[in-house]
Amino acid sequence: MTDTLPIAETFFSVQGEGKLTGVPSFFVRLSGCNLRCKWCDTPYASWKPEGQPREIASLVNDALATGARHVVITGGEPFIFKRLQNLCDAFAKARMHITIETAGTVFEPVACDLVSISPKLANSTPWDDPRDPDASWARRHEERRINLPALNALLARYSEKQIKFVVQSEGDIAEIDMLLSQLSNWQREDVLLMPEGVVAPSPEVRRWVAEICMRRGWRYCTRLHIDIFGNKRGT
C-alpha cells in the first residue's frame, strides 16, 4: 500500500513560535484533529479538515528542495495518525531536524528532535459555538483536552521540549500551575505563554503576559510569522 498521510498544506517559512523562532523551516500540516478548540487558527485542519493524501517520499523531496534543514510537523494533531512514525523516520533518514507540534493528548514514540506541546486550557472548549450546535464536540473536547499519562510520556521521551500555553487572561494561570504540578521532566525555561489571537496583541496584553513570565521564569512566546506576514495561510 502507498505510504500516504492526509495533508492540509505544506509551505516553507520561518518558525514563528517557540525556541526555534526565526529558523527557516518546511511545514507539513496534517489534516485532522481529535480536539475542536474554540479559537483554533487552522480550522481547515480541525473543524473542516481539508486536503488530500500525499506520499511521504514526495513530502521529503519537497522539503529537501527548499534547502531547509528543519521540518515542522503540525496539524491538526499529528499523533492521531498511525503513519506519523513513517513520516518521522523518513525525515530523520534525510537528516532533517524534526519538530512536532502537538496538543499532547496522544503519545507514540516517534523520531523527534523537539516536541512542542500545547496543552489546551479550559479557555479552548467550544461551548456555545455555532459550529457545534448540540455541544457534542464541546463535551468530547473537554474530556480529551488533558491526558496526563500522554503528557508525561512525551516529556519523559524527548529531551528537547517546550510546553506552550495559549492564554486569554490572568485567570488562566491558576489552571497552568495546577497542570504543571502534575507533570515531570520539565524546567521552567521550557514553559511558554502565548497570548491568544491571530493579530498582534496589544501592549497591555504583552505586558501582563511578560510580567507573569518574569515572575515564574517562563518564556514569553511571540508569533513572528504573524508579525511578518499577517494571519495568512502558507506562512
The residues of the shown chain that bind ligand SF4, judged by CB under 6 A, are 33, 35-37, 40, 42, 45-46, 75-77, 103
Nearer to ligand SF4, 49 or 216 (CB): 49
- Of the two residues 33 and 180, which places its CB atom closer to ligand SF4 in the complex? 33
The side-by-side arrangement of strands in the sheet containing 70-74 is 52-55, 4-14, 24-30, 70-74, 97-102, 114-117, 161-167, 191-195, 219-220
Pick from 125, 26, 131: which is nearest to 73 by CA?
Answer: 26
Residue 89, C-alpha cell as written in the block: 523516520
Q: If you ran DSSP here, which 8-state letter would residue 121 be given?
A: P
CB closer to ligand SF4 out of 37 and 64 = 37
Residue 91 CB partners (closer than 8 Å, separation 6+): 60, 63, 71, 73, 98, 111
Query: For residues 45 and 167, which CB has a smaller minimum distance to ligand SF4 in the complex?
Result: 45
Smaller CB separation from ligand SF4, 61 or 136: 136
Neighbouring-strand partners of residue 191? 163
Neighbours of 183 (CB within 10 A): 18
Q: How far is the CB of 149 from ligand SF4 (least distance, A)?
A: 18
Q: How far apart are CA 89 and CA 91, in angstroms?
A: 6
Please say which residue, 33 or 173, places its beta carbon nearer to ligand SF4. Answer: 33
Q: How far is the CB of 141 from ligand SF4 (least distance, A)?
A: 8
**Closest separation in Å from C-beta 70 to ligand SF4:** 20
Cβ proximity to ligand SF4, 41 vs 93, nearer residue: 41
* Residues linked to residue 73 through DSSP beta bridges, in sequence order: 28, 100
CB 67 to ligand SF4: min, Å: 28
Min CB(45)–ligand SF4 separation in Å: 5
Minimum Å gap between C-beta 231 and ligand SF4 is 14
Structural contact between residues 155 and 190, judged by C-beta atoms closer than 8 angstroms? no
User: How far, in Å, are 5, 18, 195 from residue 66 at the CA level?
Assistant: 20, 22, 31
Least Å distance, CB 217 to ligand SF4, is 26
